[in-house]
Structure 1
Amino acid sequence: MLTPNSNQGRFIRNIRAALGKSEHDIPAREAAIFTSRKSPAQAQSLETIRSRSDAEQRALLDRLIEEGKPLNLKVIPQKDVASAAAAIAGLVAGTSPEWGDRKSVVQWDHPLISELNLSAALGEQNVPVHTAAFEGDADRAGQRARIRQQVTDAYIGVTSADFCLADTATLVMKTRPGEARSVSLVPSVHVAVIRLEQILADLKELYAMLKWDPDQQAEGLTHHMAFISGPSKTADIELVMVHGAHGPRALWLYVITG
Structure 2
Amino acid sequence: MGIPSEQFRETVRAALDRDAGPPSEPYDVLTQELATLETRAEDVQARIAQETPKLLDQMAEIAGLRGWNVRRCEGGEEALDYVVSLVRRLGATSVARSEQPVFESIPVDAAIAGVGGLCWPAVYDGPASRTEVRQRLAESGMGITGADYAIAETGSVVVLPRRGLSRLVSVVPPVHVAIVRPSDLLGTLDDLFALRRLEYVRNGGDMGSYLNFITGPSRTADIEQTIVVGVHGPREVHMVLLNKE
The count of corresponding residues between Structure 1 and Structure 2 is 218
TM-score between the two structures when normalised by the length of structure 1: 0.74
- Contact 1:46/1:205, CA 8 A, preserved across alignment: no
The secondary structure found in structure 2 opposite 1:109 is coil
Pair 218,40 (structure 1): closer, same or farther in 2 beyond 3 Å: closer
The secondary structure found in structure 2 opposite 1:129 is strand
Q: Please, which moves more after superposition, 68-77 or 163-172?
A: 68-77
Q: CA deviation at 1:178?
A: 4.1
- The percent of aligned pairs where both chains have the same amino acid is 27
**Is structure 2 residue 82 aligned with structure 1 residue 87?**
yes
Q: CA deviation at 1:235?
A: 3.2
Gaps of 5+ in 1: 1-30, 97-101
Pair 53,239 (structure 1): closer, same or farther in 2 beyond 3 Å: same
- Please provide the CA RMSD for this pair: 2.9
- Contact 2:113/2:119, CA 8 A, preserved across alignment: no
The secondary structure found in structure 2 opposite 1:190 is strand
Pair 41,122 (structure 1): closer, same or farther in 2 beyond 3 Å: closer
The equivalent of 2:56 in structure 1 is 61
Task: Find the aligned partners of 1:212 and 1:190 in 2 and give their Cα distance.
Answer: 30
Letter in 2 for 1:49: Q
TM-score between the two structures when normalised by the length of structure 2: 0.77
**Is structure 2 residue 192 aligned with structure 1 residue 203?**
no
Q: Deviations over 1:91-125 (max 9, x none)?
A: 111225xxxxx631001122212432222211232
- Contact 1:64/1:75, CA 8 A, preserved across alignment: no
Gaps of 5+ in 2: 1-25
Task: Find the aligned partners of 1:164 and 1:222 in 2 and give their Cα distance.
Answer: 18
Within a 5 Å distance, the mapping from 1:1-258 to structure 2 comes to 34-37=29-32, 43=39, 46-53=42-49, 56-96=51-91, 103-134=93-124, 140-212=126-198, 217-218=202-203, 220-258=206-244
Pair 58,217 (structure 1): closer, same or farther in 2 beyond 3 Å: farther
Task: Find the aligned partners of 1:83 and 1:226 in 2 and give their Cα distance.
Answer: 27
